[in-house]
Amino acid sequence: MMDLPSDIFVNNILLKLHVRSIISCKYVCKTWYNLISDPEFAKLHMLQAKTCLLIRRIDRTIYIPLPQRKNLPNGA
């Protein structure tokens, strides 16, 4: 089987995953761990991700989607 080019893999697959899935993917292999742990990957993911609140604790990560502005009463 042919390997996917890394830019296709990152831009079209990993960056579109939910945060919990990405965290799980870190433990697939060293290459994925290094890629996902890179601060640049986090920046790219945040740029394309929907607005959310992320609370990290040592024992778990909590991901809370925030409503879009247009869905709030009076556009608040």
Please state the domain count of the chain: 1
Coil, strand or helix at 56: strand
Q: Is 36 exposed, middle or buried (CB count within 10 Å of its CB: 0-12, 13-18, 19+)? A: buried
For residue 61, the model assigns a pLDDT of: 64
pLDDT tens per residue across all 76 residues of the chain: 346 567 667 767 888 888 888 888 888 889 888 888 888 888 888 887 766 666 666 666 665 666 555 545 555 4
68 and 51 Cβ atoms separated by less than 8 Å: yes
In a domain, residue 53? The reply is: yes
pTM above 0.85, yes or no: no
pLDDT given at position 73:
57
Give the whole-angstrom CA distance, residue 76 versus residue 24.
35
| 74 token code pair | 């009076």
Report pLDDT for 37. Answer: 87
Q: Does the residue 51 lie in any domain? A: yes
Range of the domain at 21: 6-75
As given in the structure block, the two tokens for residue 19 are: 């945060």
Question: Is residue 29, in this structure, part of any structural domain at all?
Answer: yes
Residue whose entry in the numeric block shows the structure tokens 């893999």: 9
Query: What pLDDT does residue 15 have?
Result: 84
Residue at 56 is within a domain: yes
- Asked if the structure places residue 1 within a domain, the reply is no
Residues 66/59, Cβ–Cβ less than 8 Å: no
